[in-house]
Structure 1
Amino acid sequence: MGHGIRRKVFKGKVRALATALLVSTAIGVGLTAPVNQAFAQSSAQSSFSVPAGPLHNALTVFGRQAGLQVTYLSAAANGKTSPGFSGSATREQALAEILAGSGLIYSFPNAGTVAISAPPSGTGNVVADGSTQLNTIEVQGENAWGPVDGIVATQSATGTKTGTPLKNTPQAVNVITRDQMEAQGAATVTQVLRYTPGVVAQYSDTDVRHDWLTVRGFVPGRYRDGLRLPFGARGYSQPKIEPYGLERAEILKGPASVLYGQGLPGGMLNMVSKRPRDEEIREVELQYGSHDRFQAAFDVGGKLDEEGTLLYRMVGVGRLSDTQYDYVEERKGYIAPSFTFQPDEGTSLTILGEYQNIDSPGGGGAPALTANGTLYTNVYAELPRDAFLGEPGYDRFRNEQAFIGYEFAHEFDETWTLKQNLRYGYVDTDTQRVQAYCLSAASCNPSSLLRYAWAFPETSRLFTVDNQAIARFSTGDMSHTAIFGLDYSFE
């Protein structure tokens, strides 16, 4: 008996629950149907006859004819007039005509209400049809010859000479940006490249004269802004590049003779100079570091006229520094002015100049010590850490270098662009030192060494010009970039 009662009660509850669900569903359908119907009707056209006159009156007549509740702040419509609207249109089209010239916008909070309001500040301007015209947003892509926002570059001026994105360049290219140089605190080009795979600094960055390095086991060709730098007969008259004057440094690995002529298979180093920009640049730097290193630097630039057809930039560095070696010092001055003339969007001429003078008493590098007394101390006593085998009054390194050139580019049309890069460089170095000499490694006694003096004065002058014709075109769904060039250099 008890089981039968429980079954009836259970069945009764099920029926009640089912009935409640059906009723609630019916109510839900009844509530949503008018909303959906109202939105469906918003695309239907109706006949309107709203006379011109005060905006208050026009909105009242429109609301009555459209069957809508019109809400707005009285202050928003005060003093405004409406051209009115007569004809067949959707309610949105009619409302846009009624609000034309008022500077107000509309929105539909729900199917039966339209809200009129002023546009939020900074969102844009309202045009004649009542729609909102957003403010212009300039989107600028990365320039392969310009700065990079951050550490990761997406384009390279070295891989193809055309500013091709790195993802489309079929060679290994490493780009060290200005931000990365500053994050590393790089004071030399060797330090700029110290985290680049495949690059080895031969002398562990102990030489203030030159940046000795290899790429994949070979001495790389060195380029500045795509043009070869002087090197000299022995490599002593190569320029010492100041990293503060660089926007980026790029390593192109593997053979590159198709684009740059004769070179070793390891790769090449291209350094991109800071250039004038259409923005104000104001930077002053003061540094003090180990070994009484004092440095002052500045980087200024911007527009010379309101239109931005003339741009300038001036970069300078002054340095006085001792080193970790006795008698070895560094005195350096560097200045790099540049100017850009761009009469129109398709034509530009940039003049790049640079002058640098380095004077390093003590020879500019670490003293060469013998293996006996440093690595091996089982036979001969260990040399003191401040041992200097040179001659303080004789050892000296001097470097004077100057460069002047230009970059010209002109776009004839959407397909063809002509470029010409030209530079003349002068590097004069004078290196002289006194070093130890041993007849044999076994008899090399560090306490009684033979010494000899040597001097390598060397001067190099290099004229180089690179002419390029670049064509960008499409065939069907494929885009192409072709480059034709002729370059000449004399050193």
Structure 2
Amino acid sequence: MQNFYLPDSWICLLANLKSLNRLFLSTALIFLAATASAQIGTGTVAGRVQDVSGKPVRYISVAVKGTNIGTTTDEGGSFTLSVVPAGEQRLVISGVNHEKVEQEIYVEPGRTYAVTVTAREKVNSLQQVEITGRKETDYRNEVSYLATKTATPLKDVPQAVSYVTKEVLDDQGAYRLGEAVKNISGVNQFSGYQDYVVRGFRTSSGSSFLVNGLRTQGWFWTQPLTVNLERVEVIKGPASALFANSNPGGTINRVTKKPLDESRKAINFSLGSFNTLRVAADFTGPMNEEKTLLYRLNLGYENAETFRDLQTNKTFVIAPSFSFLPNDRTSVNFDLVYTQNNTRLDRGQPIFGATAGTPLTSTPISTSLSQVSDYMKVDELFSTLSINRKLTDKISVSASYMKFAAFEDLFEHRTSNRYATVVDTESEEFKALDAGTPFGRGASFLVTDPTQMEMQVFDRRRHAYTDNLTSYLTYEGNTGALRHQVLVGADYIQNMQPVGGATRIARNYRTADGRTVTVDRLTKNDLVNAQPVPNVPFVNLANPQPAIASPENYVYTSQSYAPTKYYTYGFYVQDQIKYGPLQVLLGLRQEFYRDVTAYKTAEEETVEQEKLLPRIGAVYSLTDNVNFYATYTEGFQPQSAGTLQNPNVGGPFDPLNSNMVEAGAKTEWFNDMLTLNVAAYQIEQNNILVNANAPDNPDLLRQRGQERARGVEVDVYGNPLPNLSITANYAYNRTEITQDQEGDPLGLEGRIKENAPLNQAGIWARYDIPNGFLKGLGIGLGSNYVSERNTFATYRKGADGKELGLTLPAYTIFDAAIYYRVDKFRISANFNNLTDETHWVGGYDFVRLYPGTPRNYLVSVGYTF
């Protein structure tokens, strides 16, 4: 072996630093000894948390008592704790919906201790109203408060409830509600507003939209942002037995994010097509060591143009939330959400002509009739206070109150829903007309110019308030072999538009003396260059020229909005009965609807409408993973007070009544990681008012109408593989007018309702590469299909039954995304409408169509800490 010698200079240096060397050596030995002792004195704890049936308990906290060592279980209920001090330790398992468990363990140095812990679900899981947040981070949601007003597993609800979670919204880059509903079976857009179709029935009224199970009543011109939403869910069919007057097709509920008892913080920046800039932030966690006070703060900001001319979105959202859990019997939550919208009101794309066969692309899909100086400012503010108190082991009381306020400041140029009227100067009738004689209705020389739009201007200010109060008592007990969960409660809902709303409108045509009249009241003396002069200039569809308008040059008519108010209250009882594998839901509600006309005037009068609403359903558990269900429920929508009080219409009339029969199956697969639901249904709506076609009374109405929807829906959610997430849906729905006015020349019986597609389907899947050099990379792929739809300009005429008018074509859209996560950063890119298909998501008629967004992209960078 070769000897090794130090140079003489090194020996001299070591000799001179002898004392310092000893100090370094002593320190190193102490450090090595301490490190060895630490390694020898610690071990690892690995295990699984399951419920009493052996199913994994996901996302529950696991900690070593007396230390800051802790984690949460993964999707399979597994966990690992490293560097646990050796010796006897106490493992603590705790979660919002499960009873706290402490288990003794013994950790041997340098070894792994394996443990399986059983966590029991709390019998009365904290609340009957949603107080604390959902910890899951996947595409599935297992519990809903919407369908029964109690925390009920979705598989045990005897009615279809579809949803989309925040994880899907994040992966798709879906920033507004309209981008979310495409993931829900049987739901599509009616227009570009907060205006949707559920199972063939339009849901534009305020009674069709809830936030945390409480009604909102804002302006439907803008779609809500999703940055503060935990999920969007839809209870299919009439929900009046739970929420008073409601749409027969379904009710859309936005569930806001609630605080979590663990710290999570995230911020995300996005840039994309149409000069899009978005920022979103989400912070949550405990505010004290005892975790009795929790918070959550969501922020969102968007500054973006769109593919539509002059249409922009500047939106800001701030949404703080606090939960107070002083003990295991009491829970309180307070939410506040403020949204500020600064945009223009998009009235849709007009096209040339008003006859069958006019191509939808006769004008570019970007064509808008807005002017540069138009604006729309909409502010919404709502706050919610929810309280739950467990009085005894069997009795709980819950109450929620929401105050919702909406403010609108609008100035817009919009179509008059018709094309320009011009004079055929070569007409013999026109030539023979006296100069001072009004043209009159039906004059043959008044013709339509399908290349120009007749315009009008609205200048409007108004505000509205909605109050919601719901309170109920829940009792859980047994009657022999029957297990009951009885709910008894009362609701009160009030909407008011107070004094202070006003509008001024510029429309029609100018007379020679500066007044405005309809075109049939003009005379030859009012014409300029032998043509009518519009109060607001026509827009040439062949060459629209947006400009800074001159509103001072228009002639306006002004009016104040009469203050309005309605309120409705109801009392209800519900019993969820369980006997072995059979569960039965029985519900009954008595509703009292009051519409106050001429509110706060000497002519104030209250119009009363009432309805008794039953609901019955049953669920049979064939196995632990397969449930079959059936349900019958009724709904109602009150007739407007103005209609009921008009002496010419022939009332009084009953409210619009609806009923639904539904049956289906709810199943779980792949160790409960994938949910597949199937529903078949029939919905009928009756008492629809139609014109009586009385020659001597054009206002006379007759209550004969009926509409019916029949269909099948399929929903799939979950993780069939550990790194694969999927949400998919399909709906076949035929919603048609089944009873119409006798002798109606349009022959509407058998006609498919407007914007109600026969078929629609959607799928979105994400796969994350688990290992290798591509670990951290994810890929998302999706597609949506909607079949053709009728518009209001479509009708049936003739013995051959041929459809004439305007039909929106079917479309298929393909989307993709790529994700990369490294440490605490996530980078993603979303590519939507990959094939750049021109399509229309909805529309009214020839002058108001709503094209879908062409190919676009969105790049995002997120950081969690």
TM-score interval, normalised by the smaller of the two chains: 0.5 to 0.7
- The structure 2 residue matched to 1:344, chosen from 312, 327, 331, is 327
**Contact 1:342–1:348 (Cα < 8 Å) also in 2:** yes
Name which of 235, 247, 266 aligns with 2:249. 266
Specify the code of the residue in structure 2 equivalent to 1:268. Answer: T
Q: Alpha-carbon deviation of 1:263?
A: 1.5
Q: Hey, which of these two has a bigger chunk of helix by percent? A: 1
Match of 1:475 in 2: 479
Contact 1:239–1:427 (Cα < 8 Å) also in 2: no
Deviations 1:124-154 (A, max 9, x none): 6359xxxx99586757799994424421222
Q: Once the 2 structures are TM-superposed, how far is the Cα of residue 178 of structure 1 from its aligned partner? A: 1.5
The equivalent position to 2:349 in structure 1, one of 368, 379, 386, is 368
Could you tell me whether the CA contact under 8 Å between 1:373 and 1:382 is conserved in 2?
no
- 1:289 aligned to 2:269? no
Q: 1:228 to 1:381 in 2, by over 3 A?
A: closer
Distance 1:150 1:374 in 2: 49
Partners in 2 of 1:244 and 1:309 — Cα distance? Answer: 25
Q: How many Å separate the matches in 1 of 2:265 and 2:256?
A: 17
Question: How far does residue 444 in structure 1 lie from its aligned partner after superposition?
Answer: 4.5
The letter for the 2-side match of 1:391 is Q
Separation (CA, whole Å) in 1 of partners of 2:302 and 2:237: 36
- Unaligned runs of 5+ residues in structure 1 are 1-75, 77-117
Distance (Å, rounded) in 1 between the aligned partners of 2:346 and 2:397: 44
Q: Distance in 1 between matches of 2:355 and 2:121?
A: 56
Once the two structures are superposed, the pairs formed by residues 105-116 of structure 1 within 5 Å of their partners are: none
> Which residue number in structure 1 is paired with residue 165 of structure 2?
177
Equivalent position to 2:217, from 230, 241, 266 = 230
Q: Which amino acid aligns with 1:331?
A: K
Deviation string 1:215-235 (CA, Å, 9 cap, x unpaired) is: 12223411101111114xxxx
Describe the shift of the 1:452–1:368 C-alpha distance in structure 2 as closer, same or farther (beyond 3 A). farther
Secondary structure (helix, strand or coil) at the match of 1:255 reads: coil
Return the offset for 1:478: 3.1
- Write out aligned runs for 1:48-447 (5 A): 125-126=105-106, 145=130, 146-147=133-134, 148-203=136-191, 207=192, 210-220=193-203, 221-231=208-218, 236=219, 240-360=223-343, 363-365=344-346, 367-372=348-353, 382-384=362-364, 386-393=366-373, 395-436=374-415, 437-438=418-419, 444-445=448-449, 447=451
Paired residue total: 358
Q: In 2 relative to 1, CA 326–347 (structure 1 residues): closer, same or farther, beyond 3 Å? A: same
Shift of 1:412: 1.0
- Distance (Å, rounded) in 1 between the aligned partners of 2:190 and 2:220: 18
**C-alpha contact (below 8 Å) 1:287/1:295 kept by paired residues:** yes
Contact 2:347 2:369 in 1 (8 A): no
Residues 1:172 and 1:388: Cα distance change in structure 2 (over 3 Å)? closer
C-alpha displacement at 1:239, in angstroms?
7.1
User: Counterparts of 1:195 and 1:126 in 2: how far apart (Å)?
Assistant: 48
- 1:180-239 C-alpha deviation (Å, 9 max, x unpaired): 222332121121111212212112xxx3xx3210212223411101111114xxxx3677
Q: Please, which moves more after superposition, 259-268 or 450-459?
A: 450-459
Q: Which residue of 2 aligns with 1:34?
A: none
Structure 2: state its 5+ residue gaps.
1-39, 41-85, 92-102, 108-112, 423-445, 496-865
Residue 35 of structure 1 corresponds to none
Partner of 1:109: none
Distance, in Å, in 1 between the alignment partners of 2:315 and 2:266 is 20
Change (3 A) 1:430 1:217: farther
Residue 463 of structure 1: how far off its partner (Å): 1.1
SS at match of 1:451: strand
TM-score, with length taken from structure 1: 0.66
| Contact 1:126–1:133, Cα closer than 8 Å, also in 2 | no
Contact 1:368 1:435 survives alignment (8 Å): no
- 1:276, 1:301 within 8 Å by CA — same for their partners in 2? yes
- 1:335-377 deviation per Cα after TM superposition (whole angstroms, max 9, x unaligned): 00111111101101111101111101xx232543134399967
Helix, strand or coil for the counterpart of 1:438?
A: strand
> 1:237 touches 1:459 (CA, 8 Å); kept in 2?
no
Structure 2 CA distance for partners of 1:375 and 1:419, relative to 1, 3 Å: same
Q: Root-mean-square deviation (CA), in Å?
A: 3.4
Cα distance change on mapping 1:458 and 1:370 into 2, 3 Å: farther
Q: 1:223, 1:271 within 8 Å by CA — same for their partners in 2?
A: yes
Residues 236-288 of structure 1, C-alpha deviations (whole Å, 9 max, x = no match): 36774221111111110112212111222212111111011101020101000
Q: Which residue of 2 aligns with 1:12?
A: none
Deviation for aligned residue 1:403: 1.0
Q: Secondary structure at the match of 1:230?
A: coil
Q: 2 CA distance for matches of 1:124 and 1:343? A: 27
Q: Which moved more, 1:144-153 or 1:279-288?
A: 144-153
Instruction: State the alpha-carbon separation in 1 of the partners of residues 106 and 294 from structure 2.
Output: 36
Give, in whole Å, the separation in 2 of the partners of 1:125 and 1:390.
Answer: 70
Structure 1 position 451, deviation (Å): 2.2
| Per-residue Cα deviation, 1:447-489 (whole angstroms, up to 9, x for no partner) | 4443222345432101111001111122344322111111111
**Equivalent residue number for residue 454 of structure 1:** 458
**Structure 1 residues 371, 216: closer, same or farther in 2, change over 3 A?**
farther
Rg: which structure is higher? 1
**Shift in CA distance, 396/439, structure 1 to aligned 2, threshold 3 Å:** same
Q: Deviations over 1:393-422 (max 9, x none)?
A: 1x2221111112211001112111110100
Distance 1:286 1:467, change over 3 A: same
User: Residues 375, 280 of structure 1: CA spacing in aligned structure 2 closer, same or farther, 3 A cutoff?
Assistant: farther
Mapped partners of 1:135, 1:387: distance in 2: 63
TM-score normalised by length of structure 2: 0.38
- d(CA) in 2 for partners of 1:430 and 1:345? 46
With 219-228 and 365-374 compared, the bigger mean Cα shift is at: 365-374
Q: Give me the whole-angstrom Cα distance separating, in 2, the residues matched to 1:381 and 1:414.
A: 65
Distance across 2 between alignment mates of 1:323 and 1:405: 33
Q: For residue 172 of structure 2, what is the amino acid of its counterpart?
A: Q
Please say if residues 409 and 462 of structure 2, whose CA atoms lie closer than 8 Å, have aligned partners that are also in contact. yes
The structure that is strand-richer by fraction is 2
Instruction: Write the distance in 2 (CA, Å) between the matches of 1:277 and 1:327.
Output: 41
Alpha-carbon distance between aligned partners in 2 of 1:264 and 1:385, rounded to the nearest angstrom: 31
Deviation at 1:320, TM superposition (A): 0.6
**Alpha-carbon distance in structure 2 between the residues aligned to 1:215 and 1:313:** 32
Mark the CA change 1:175 to 1:476 in structure 2 (over 3 Å): closer, same or farther.
Answer: farther
- Supply the distance in 2 between the matched residues of 1:385 and 1:194 (Cα, whole angstroms): 21
Question: What is the rounded CA distance, in whole Å, between the counterparts of 2:175 and 2:197 in structure 1?
Answer: 19
CA distance in 1, matches of 2:361, 2:88: 82
